[in-house]
Structure formats: structure tokens, C-alpha cells
Amino acid sequence: MSRMPTVAALVGNPNAGKSALFNALTGARQKIANYPGVTVERKAGRLLLPTGEPVELVDLPGSYSLDAASPDEEVTRKVIMGEQEGQVRPDVIVLVLDSSNLEQHLVFAQEVIGLGRPTVVALNMVDLAERDGLVIDPAALESALGVPVIPTVAVRRRGLTELAAAIGEARDRSQEHDAVPRPHVTLPERRMLAHQMADAAIISETAKHRIHARMDKVLLHPWAGPPILFALLFVVFQAVFTWATPFADGLEAAVGVLGDLVRTYIPPSLARDLLTDGVIAGVGSVVVFLPQIVILFFFILTMEATGYMARAAFLMDRMMAGVGLSGRSFIPLLSSFACAIPGIMATRSIADPKDRLTTILIAPMMTCSARLPVYAVIIAAFIPNTKVGPGIGQQGLVLFALYVAGIVGAMVVALVLRSSVTKGAASGFIMELPKYQLPTIKDLAIGLWQRAWIFLRRAGTIIFMVTIALWLLLNFPRAEPGQDQINASVAGTLANGLSVVLEPIGFNRDMSLAIIPAMAAREVAVSSLATTYAVGASDDEDQTAVALGDQLKARWTLPMALSFLAWFVFAPQCLSTIAVARRETNGWKWPAFMLAYLFALAYLAAFATFWTATAMGLG
């Protein structure tokens, strides 16, 4: 047998646990989460059979049918059929079924088995079925489907060896005879058969899942549900501030000490300035937000793992329909709170092209985690840390308001787009609700670690480089004695030019200076301000670092700060988002449109904020 390695593909309904199985079998770290539509691309990994032979295992997006409706389902169909470029047709199909949802998953299963190709069924999530009081007979299912059925629990690594062995056997059988497609069975027939098969395979069923049904009664209640969701999100933003404070203070102190050490032990020179003003002040000012990021992701990951995320989508469906979208757009939009890039990619699970395009266009308005440091630094400097109610801090409230401003802005834009450029009827929304699950500590820890690592890596690479470049542009050419270094520098000259345009929205030179490098990564706005003020202060007598917050307080007025925040709610700040929008819409037309309308919106919002605040006498 000296042929190409065997290829096996994981196929099944969304949320069946394909990626969890993939991770368990190959040691990969694909994203898994408890809602349908997590995986939108194929991903290959290597699995070793019990015989030691390697198999290429492909994880695929979930699918309800071989008649693909959405771009991610299309990937699955193409791979199964061997039409995907750069991917040989799988020799073995590993059909993943959710045992606790058997009847529903058997509908697509029959379609796949009907292809007559070597197939193995992974009867996954048998633990959840048991929890719900279901006992399933794999042998009955095996004889009904005519292919091997292996019970598995992906997240507990149960049944993996048996599954791997079955994959090997199926491959061996396939070499003996060719695929024999079975007679076509229509969808209604498959539905009926699925019902019969599930009935025959389920030995006993007790009504254990009452608690979860009762939870849904409350959480999905048309009146009680939305306030609960709202309250939950509110708690998240309070927590981002209050829980993070001790850790953030500690980190900030550590960065300060580091700067002082360098100042004490290295004689004054440009190189020392680069270290203190560029690296430590600049990059350090971003790194101190690690605790906030971790706390935010703790909540997002928990919502994803417990199954609440899909319920939130369900709750929001009605509101989304009001602006011409559906609950389908909710999860991509919510993912954009982490970063617009995975958010935009997640829109591949939306079938209607215009729904999808609208969602892509508004995704950047969801407050991504890179904006959190910008918001946090300004809020901490300008909004008093007072309580406005029991357990409600004013700072958390303002943060919450900024997130809400982004959401409301996005909804208004969606409404306008859906009645103009992306006109079309709102499509219906059906999403199966996943089972409630407690998140496993290990998965949560891995998820948080990955997030923290991404954040730190950004600080160490892109933010670091942009900050250094900015430091150079701020320091050259050198100022004449008595002249202001920043005004003399290349960066200062550019910023002074730009501030003519930005003056009407209350931006001073330093703010204008901060928003350009922030196009690389939004956190850079913070590091640029820190570096600018550190460079500006270098000539002063006092060499000790002044915390960025104090610098801001001394140099900005409240209306200026609010205007800066308003700008960051809407402005298209990161080039990677534009690049992904180009890829997902196949051209420059829509990203250009996105860029233009977001800039216009940001300018208007900052303008209105600045002048309203000024008129209110806040300056």
C-alpha cells in the first residue's frame, strides 16, 4: 500500500462535536463552542490509527444538507464530493451525530450514507444523552444505518481508539469495492425514517431534562429574557473595571518601576529614551490592560460554552428582524466583540448573501477587544470612579454606554442599508438551541490562555514595531534648543497638518497623531499617546515618568476626551479588518464603502459629542 495517506473527513450537523473530536484525535486546538456555526473553514490534521498508520483528518463546517445553503455548508459539500481545490476526496467519511439530538441528526446522516461511500458513525455526546435520561443502543442504530456506529464522548476522550480503528477498517473495505450510491430518498421520507430509527435505537427515555426546559422558559421568555441578557452584559462591563483594578494597578506599578530602573542605571542618551519612552511607556501602556482583556474573554467564553450564546441569538432575533436582519447575524456580531476578523468570517454561516453583506458591513462597529484599552485609559482618566447605585460604578456605566453606542449605531446603519444598498426581505431564523453545559475548567483555561497570548503577542510585535516607528518619527529631526521636539519632528509636522481637519471635532495635535498609527492596531492609540507624552516630557527637568492618565488629565478637556471616545466607537481603525472584508466580499467595492461610511460616521459622532459637551459646559 504505497499510496497517498488516507483522508478522512468529519461531517455532521452543526454543534455535533466535530471539532471537539478533531482536537481530541489530532491534538489540534480548533475553536469549539456550544452553538451551531463555529467552524466555517476546513482544517486538516494528522491522526494515527492504532496500527500506527497516519491518516489526514479534515474538520469541516457543520451542515444540514448536501444542498448547501450558506458559504460554509458549500465548503463541506465540496470537500465530500471531492470538488474542493487542493483537497483530495476523503476516503472515509466520519459522520458525527449528537446522541442527545438523534432524530434531528439522522436526517442529514441518511443523505451522507446514501452516497454509498465508506462511512463510520461517531455517536457523540453519549454522556449528554445519559444525563438527559436517554439510553441508546448503538447496535440497533448500526443495523438501521448499515454502517459501523461507535459511541464517543469527545470532550472526555471516550471511544477515540475504537473510532480510529473503525476508520482504518472502513478504509480497508473501501479498497475492496467501489462506492455504491443508494437509491435516492426524499427529505420527507428521510424525516420519517429518522423518526423510526431514533425510536428503535432509544431504549429508554426518562424526563430528566426538566431543569433545562425550565431554564429556557425563563431565559427565553419574551419579556423576562431580554432584561436578563441586558443585565448579564451590564455585569460584564462592571466586572471589566472592578475586578481588573487590583491587577491592572499592579501591572502599572511594575511598568513604572521598570522605567525608573532603566532611568537609574542607564546614562541619558537617545537609546535610553527609546527604551523608556518607546518600549516601556508605549508598549507597557497597552500591556497593563491584560487583566481587562482576560476578564472580558472569561465572560464571552463562558457564554459560548454554556449554550447561552445561541439563546441570546434567539432572543435578539426579534429585535434584529426590526432592522432587516435575523438572529443569524447575532453570533457573528457578538464574536466581533472579540475581534471583527473572526466575526466577519463567522458570517459564512449566513445563507442569504445580502444578510451576510449587511452583517459584514456593520461588524466593525461592535466594540472589539482592541478598543478596550483605549476606552479604559480615557475613562479611567476622565470619569470619576464613583458609585451611582449599589454595585454600579460610573466608569463601568460609561464603558457599557460606549458598547451600546456601537450596537445602536450598527442597528441604525443596518436599517438604512437594508432599505437601500442591500435591500431585501428579512430571512427567517431557525437555529437549534444547544444543550446547556457547564464549561470545563480546562477548556476555559486554554481559551483564556490563547486570548491572553494573542494580546501579548500583538503587544510584542505589531504594537511594539509601530510604537518604535512612531518614536523615531517623533524624535527626528531633532529640535533646535528652545523648540518643542514634537512640533519639530516628522510625526509632529504631519499631525499639525492633520489637526486642521480634526480641529472641528476637538482633536488636538496629540490626538491627531494617535489615530494614524492606530490604523495598524487600535491599542496603538494608547501606546502612541504614552510615547508622545513621554517624548514631550523628556526635555523637562523632572525625569520621572508621569502616568499616562495624569498626562491626559492635564492636557485634555472632558469634551475632547469624550470626542475621542466617540471617534473610536465608529472609526474603521484597523487595516486587517478591511483586508478580511475584501476577501469575504471578493473585491474592493464593499471595503471601500465600509471605510468611507465609518469615517463619516466617526467624524459626525465626534463632532456632535464635542460640541454638545462643550455647550453643556463640561469643558
Ligand X SMILES: Nc1nc2c(ncn2[C@@H]2O[C@H](COP(=O)(O)OP(=O)(O)OP(=O)(O)O)[C@@H](O)[C@H]2O)c(=O)[nH]1
Residues that bind ligand X (CB under 6 A): 14-20, 32-34, 36-39, 61-62, 124-125, 127-128, 153-155, 305, 437
Do the beta carbons of residue 268 and residue 352 sit within 8 Å?
no
Q: How far is the CB of 195 from ligand X (least distance, A)?
A: 22
Q: How far is the CB of 556 from Mg ion (least distance, A)?
A: 46
CA distance 256 to 252: 6
Q: How far is the CB of 371 from ligand X (least distance, A)?
A: 27
Q: What is the dihedral of CA 165, 169, 174, 175, to 10 degrees?
A: 110
Q: How far is the CB of 180 from ligand X (least distance, A)?
A: 28
Q: How far is the CB of 374 from ligand X (least distance, A)?
A: 32
Q: How far is the CB of 232 from ligand X (least distance, A)?
A: 19
Work out what residue 517 binds among Mg ion, ligand X, none; the CB cut-off runs from 5 to 8 Å by kind: none
Do the beta carbons of residue 17 and residue 36 sit within 8 Å?
no
CA distance 156 to 20: 10
Q: Burial letters for 147-162: b for 16+ Cβ neighbours within 10 Å, e otherwise?
A: bbbbbbbbbeebbbeb
Work out what residue 327 binds among ligand X, Mg ion, none; the CB cut-off runs from 5 to 8 Å by kind: none
| Piece of 34-42, 216-224, 448-456, 589-597 that binds Mg ion (CB under 5 A) | 34-42
Q: How far is the CB of 150 from ligand X (least distance, A)?
A: 12
Do the beta carbons of residue 300 and residue 331 sit within 8 Å?
no
Q: Which is nearer to Mg ion, 36 or 364 (CB)?
A: 36
Q: How far is the CB of 305 from ligand X (least distance, A)?
A: 5
Please report, as a single letter, which amino acid is at residue 211: I
CA distance 358 to 426: 11
Q: Which is nearer to ligand X, 335 or 532 (CB)?
A: 335
Q: Which is nearer to Mg ion, 60 or 219 (CB)?
A: 60
Work out what residue 343 binds among ligand X, Mg ion, none; the CB cut-off runs from 5 to 8 Å by kind: none
Work out what residue 134 binds among ligand X, Mg ion, none; the CB cut-off runs from 5 to 8 Å by kind: none
Do the beta carbons of residue 598 and residue 574 sit within 8 Å?
no
Work out what residue 159 binds among ligand X, Mg ion, none; the CB cut-off runs from 5 to 8 Å by kind: none
Work out what residue 396 binds among Mg ion, ligand X, none; the CB cut-off runs from 5 to 8 Å by kind: none
Work out what residue 155 binds among Mg ion, ligand X, none; the CB cut-off runs from 5 to 8 Å by kind: ligand X
Work out what residue 34 binds among ligand X, Mg ion, none; the CB cut-off runs from 5 to 8 Å by kind: ligand X
Q: Which is nearer to Mg ion, 8 or 370 (CB)?
A: 8
Burial bucket for residue 19 (CB in 10 Å: 0-12, 13-18, 19+):
buried
Q: Which is nearer to ligand X, 34 or 475 (CB)?
A: 34
CA distance 527 to 374: 9
Work out what residue 485 binds among Mg ion, ligand X, none; the CB cut-off runs from 5 to 8 Å by kind: none
User: H-type helices in 114-209, by residue range?
Assistant: 126-131, 138-145, 160-176, 187-201
Do the beta carbons of residue 572 and residue 595 sit within 8 Å?
yes
Neighbours of 282 (CB within 10 A): 31
19 touches Mg ion by CB under 5 A:
yes
CA distance 568 to 379: 13
CA distance 427 to 365: 22
CA distance 545 to 182: 75
Q: Which is nearer to Mg ion, 38 or 552 (CB)?
A: 38
Q: Which is nearer to Mg ion, 18 or 522 (CB)?
A: 18
Q: Which is nearer to ligand X, 128 or 287 (CB)?
A: 128
Work out what residue 14 binds among ligand X, Mg ion, none; the CB cut-off runs from 5 to 8 Å by kind: ligand X
Q: How far is the CB of 582 from Mg ion (least distance, A)?
A: 25
Q: Which is nearer to ligand X, 16 or 341 (CB)?
A: 16
At 10, list the grid cell: 468529519
Q: How far is the CB of 503 from ligand X (least distance, A)?
A: 49
Q: How far is the CB of 348 from Mg ion (least distance, A)?
A: 12
CA distance 398 to 41: 37
Work out what residue 409 binds among Mg ion, ligand X, none; the CB cut-off runs from 5 to 8 Å by kind: none
Q: Which of 38, 316, 346, 470 binds Mg ion (CB under 5 A)?
A: 38
39 touches Mg ion by CB under 5 A:
yes
Listed residue (576, 561, 562, 569) closest to 599, CA to CA: 569
| Piece of 13-21, 180-188, 360-368, 511-519 that binds Mg ion (CB under 5 A) | 13-21
CA distance 165 to 95: 15
Q: Which is nearer to ligand X, 159 or 364 (CB)?
A: 159
Listed residue (38, 519, 27, 608) closest to 305, CA to CA: 38
Q: How far is the CB of 178 from ligand X (least distance, A)?
A: 29
- What is the total count of residues that contact Mg ion (CB under 5 A)? 4
Q: Tell me how far CA of residue 257 lies from CA of 290, 388, 411, 535, 545, in angstroms.
A: 18, 34, 45, 18, 10
Work out what residue 153 binds among ligand X, Mg ion, none; the CB cut-off runs from 5 to 8 Å by kind: ligand X
CA distance 373 to 379: 10
Chain contacts with Mg ion (rule: CB under 5 A): 18-19, 38-39
